[in-house]
Amino acid sequence: MNGSSESVLRIDKWLWAVRLFKTRSLASEACRTAKVTIEGKPVKPSREVQVGMKIMLREGPLTRTVEVKAVPPNRVGAKLVADFLIDHTPMEEYEKLKIIKESPLARLRGEG
């Protein structure tokens, strides 16, 4: 690949490259299980993303909406993620997640 001048990349690789998933196989699995959608339609891991596409992904109770700002040449550092995506997730989604985590019913893994 030739830097961010490339305008397309597989969606599983893009999700991994912009640190939305820890591994590419987790990103592929999310695509296969319909947790990643474009325009309301589930996508396969091989779907190519282009600049300007809006991608929705479900992560438990949180539904994130991100826009492709640029295509990275490979995995980027956490400080550079903002150069490659725009987060359009409503604040209500993050507040909902915060409420769930603060709930007395919530427990850490291994605490019973």
Structurally, the chain folds into a number of domains equal to: 1
Residue 50 maps to a domain: yes
What is the model's pTM?
A: 0.80
Given the DSSP bridges, would you call strands 62-68 and 41-42 parallel, antiparallel or unpaired? unpaired
3-state secondary structure of 71: coil
Cα separation, 75 vs 77, in Å, equals 7
Q: What does the mean pLDDT of the chain come to?
A: 88
Q: Where residue 36 sits, what CATH number does that domain have?
A: 3.10.290.10
Question: What element of type H or E holds 66?
Answer: strand 62-68
3-state secondary structure of 90: coil
User: Mind listing the pLDDT tens digit for each residue in 24-44?
Assistant: 999 999 999 999 999 999 999
Residue 85 maps to a domain: yes
pLDDT at residue 97 in the model: 79
At 107, is the pLDDT very low, low, confident or very high (cuts 50, 70, 90)?
low
Q: Which domain holds residue 49?
A: 3-102
Query: What's phi and psi for 86, nearest 5 deg?
Result: -120, 125
Predicted confidence (pLDDT) at residue 102 exceeds the cutoff of 90: no
Residue 111 maps to a domain: no
Cβ proximity of 47 and 57 under 8 Å: no
